[in-house]
Amino acid sequence: MSRPLRVAVIGAGPAGIYASDLLIKSGEAVSVDLYEKMPAPFGLIRYGVAPDHPRIKGIVTSLHRVLDKPEIRLLGNITIGEDVTVEELRPYYDAIIFSTGATGDRDLPIPGSDLPESIGAGEFVGFYDGNPLFERGWNLQAQKVAVVGVGNVALDVSRVLAKTADELKVTEIPDNVYENLSQNQATEVHVFGRRGPAQCKFTPKELKEVDESPTIEVIVDPEDIDYDAASEEARRASKSQDLVCQTLEGYALREPQNAPHKIYMHFFESPVEILGEDGHVVGFRTERTRLNGDGTVSGTGEYRTWDVQAVYHAVGYRSDAVNGVPFDAERAVIPNDGGHVLDPETGEPITALYTTGWIKRGPVGLIGNTKSDAKETTDMLLSDWREGRLPEPAQPGQEEVLEFLEKDKGLAITTWEGWYRLDAAERAAGEGEGRERKKIVEWDEMLKHAGPQAD
Ligand SMILES: Cc1cc2nc3c(=O)[nH]c(=O)nc-3n(C[C@H](O)[C@H](O)[C@H](O)COP(=O)(O)OP(=O)(O)OC[C@H]3O[C@@H](n4cnc5c(N)ncnc54)[C@H](O)[C@@H]3O)c2cc1C
């Protein structure tokens, strides 16, 4: 065929960018339009990864090399399913890949979770990472805070709550975030897990890092270091889990450090209720659990009340449905067979629709994992193309779809060149303060740099 394979990738997070890269490296002539709802690309690298993780944020540098390639065109500030429907896009492409990731929080279904100081971790992350769709101000009056969940997001939230604002000022945090964090009263953060050290989801490096700040001391009660046969097996099977257990044992056994901010890690405590008084959080109730021998736990009937004034729940992110695309509401993923989007009625693949990343398999795993996801999906797509299973689109030209988006839909599209301008503006804003960058939060201001009027 004389024209290139035309693919629309929806969502410019790591999964969408890796999928685009794999397609254009496939040996076929491929042209990708990478759609993104935000004015800037990079998904949760920009709006999830914590600001004091510059090494991870630096993955953007390698993604830059992908987006610099002429076969990929970034079309930002467009929400597929709202600004443009999937059916409207279909005539312009041979195939569409959905890589829309996740932004919301899974619920913590216990009484009291509707109190104002009971907060999803994702809300707080959206605030401190300067996502324009989230709050600009944050109530940080609580001196003692509970964080429910024992994964890396719980560590991020605990660390940001326990660090001083000045420790974070060297990062890219915007002014409103610095000002709010300067008011932070928290001196104790209590992290709660239902099961034990061998079952928690921390990764070793992140668990060690949380204790590296001179203002933070991590404390573990030696009583919470407990393993059953399945726990021992889990440690033998995973070097990473074993390292996590060793680090927690180290925290449990050492002398007090007298750092001004403490992060207590509590295991075998199952959330029961967030306690309220006059409409505000005044405590958190848990039930002590014990291991059953197979790595699961059962309640002991022994309850504890913790004196806290805010409860953050880091019990998982949740993906949203894209209008016009099947969605498995229970698992919060697009139903798929490892790549093809499946029709929920028939269980059969829907021609030319694919999915990858967190929206494909759920919100677990690191950025690197989205690469293998993308490989599986793009292999399916390319095989369908080579075998002639993709119908001919009506208008596969690059210009035709742009005209539709700009003229018929009247959309203000942000571009890759626009990202360079926004990037330069953020770097310039940081430079005066001796930092690498300072993030621009407001949507309009991002558009001012990255949008069409600056072209
Ligand atoms: C708080 C937090 C901290 C993390 N920290 C780390 C870390 O330190 N190291 C690490 O390796 N991993 C980390 N991760 C995991 C990492 O962010 C994910 O593995 C990765 O971002 C998933 O990639 P994705 O492309 O599937 O989704 P996302 O990164 O969510 O990207 C999806 C993109 O799709 C866009 N989009 C959504 N809907 C639409 C639509 N309708 N139309 C157009 N565009 C749309 C979104 O705006 C977004 O840009 C963290 C995750 C979280 C939540």
Q: Express each pLDDT in 233-274 by its tens digit.
A: 999 999 999 999 999 999 999 998 889 999 999 999 999 999
Cα(371) to centroid of ligand 1, in Å? 13
Residue whose C-alpha is closest to residue 445's, from 426, 430, 432 = 426
pLDDT more than 70, % of the chain: 99
Residue whose C-alpha is closest to residue 167's, from 205, 214, 206, 211 = 214
Query: Residue 54: which pLDDT band, with cuts at 50, 70 and 90?
Result: confident
Tens of pLDDT, residues 6-40: 999 999 999 999 999 999 999 999 999 999 999 99
For a substitution probing ligand 1, which of 21, 45, 49 has the most ligand atoms within 8 Å of its CB?
49
Q: Is the CB of 356 under 6 A from ligand 1?
A: no
Separation of alpha carbons 91 and 99, rounded Å: 20
For a substitution probing ligand 1, which of 84, 356, 367 has the most ligand atoms within 8 Å of its CB?
367
DSSP lists the bridge partners of residue 189 as: 145, 263
Q: Is 277 left (phi over 0), alpha (psi -120 to 50) or beta?
A: beta
Q: Is the CB of 37 under 6 A from ligand 1?
A: yes
Nearest-CA residue for ligand 1 atom 15 is 366
Q: What is the DSSP string of 200-214?
A: ----HHHHHHTTTST
Tally Cβ neighbours within 10 Å of residue 350.
17
Going by the annotation, the residues of the binding site for NADP(+) are: 194-195, 206, 365
Task: Please give the DSSP secondary-structure letter assigned to residue 224.
Answer: G
Q: Is the CB of 127 under 6 A from ligand 1?
A: no
Task: Quote the pTM value.
Answer: 0.95
> Which tokens is 43 given?
């998904």
Tens of pLDDT, residues 264-316: 999 999 999 999 999 999 999 999 999 999 999 999 999 999 999 999 999 99
Q: Is the CB of 354 under 6 A from ligand 1?
A: no
For a substitution probing ligand 1, which of 78, 100, 210 has the most ligand atoms within 8 Å of its CB?
100
Cα(174) to centroid of ligand 1, in Å? 20
What is the domain class of 5-102+319-413 according to CATH? alpha beta
Helix (H) or strand (E) holding 263: strand 261-266
What's residue 453's pLDDT?
66
Q: Is the CB of 419 under 6 A from ligand 1?
A: no
What is the domain class of 104-317 according to CATH? alpha beta
Q: Which residues contact 397 (CB under 8 A, 6 or more apart)?
A: none
Going by the annotation, the residues of the binding site for FAD are: 15, 36, 44, 80, 358, 365-367
Whether residue 454 is predicted with pLDDT greater than 50 in this model: the reply is no
> Which tokens is 130 given?
């300067």
Q: Is the CB of 44 under 6 A from ligand 1?
A: yes
Mean local confidence (pLDDT), 202-221: 96
What 244-251 contacts at long range (C-beta under 8 Å, 24+ apart), as own/partner pairs, is 244/197, 244/200, 244/202, 244/203, 244/204, 244/207, 245/197, 245/198, 247/204, 247/207, 247/208, 248/197, 248/200, 248/207, 248/220, 249/197, 249/220, 249/225, 251/211, 251/218, 251/219, 251/220
Tally Cβ neighbours within 10 Å of residue 63.
21
Atom of ligand 1 nearest to the CA of 359: 26
Tens of pLDDT, residues 109-132: 999 999 999 999 999 999 999 999
> Which tokens is 353 given?
């629709």
Task: Count the alpha carbons within 13 Å of 34 in the hemisphere toward its beta carbon.
Answer: 34
Nearest-CA residue for ligand 1 atom 38 is 100
Atom of ligand 1 nearest to the CA of 45: 17
Cα(356) to centroid of ligand 1, in Å? 12
Q: Is the CB of 160 under 6 A from ligand 1?
A: no
Cα(336) to centroid of ligand 1, in Å? 19
Nearest-CA residue for ligand 1 atom 2 is 48
Q: Which residues contact 305 (CB under 8 A, 6 or more apart)?
A: 275, 283, 284, 285
Whether residue 1 is predicted with pLDDT greater than 80 in this model: the reply is no
What's residue 104's pLDDT?
87
Q: Is the CB of 35 under 6 A from ligand 1?
A: yes
Mean local confidence (pLDDT), 382-399: 95
What's residue 55's pLDDT?
85
Average pLDDT, whole number, for the chain?
Answer: 96
What's residue 263's pLDDT?
98
Task: Please give the DSSP secondary-structure letter assigned to residue 111.
Answer: T
Residues 356-391, buried b or exposed e (16+ Cβ, 10 A)? bbbbbbbbeeebeebbebbebbbebbbebbeeeebe
Is residue 15 within 8 A of residue 101, CB to CB? The reply is yes
Separation of alpha carbons 94 and 345, rounded Å: 24
Query: Residue 137: which pLDDT band, with cuts at 50, 70 and 90?
Result: very high
For the chain, residues classed under CATH 3.40.50.720 are: 5-102+319-413
CA distances from 430 to 127, 170, 171, 202 (A): 19, 9, 9, 32
Atom of ligand 1 nearest to the CA of 38: 47
For the chain, residues classed under CATH 3.50.50.60 are: 104-317
What's residue 290's pLDDT?
97
Mapped onto helix, strand or coil, the DSSP state of residue 351 is strand
Going by the annotation, the residues of the binding site are: 15, 36, 44, 80, 194-195, 206, 358, 365-367
Q: Is the CB of 149 under 6 A from ligand 1?
A: no
Cα(267) to centroid of ligand 1, in Å? 28
Task: Count the alpha carbons within 13 Å of 440 in the hemisphere toward its beta carbon.
Answer: 22
Is residue 80 within 8 A of residue 12, CB to CB? The reply is no
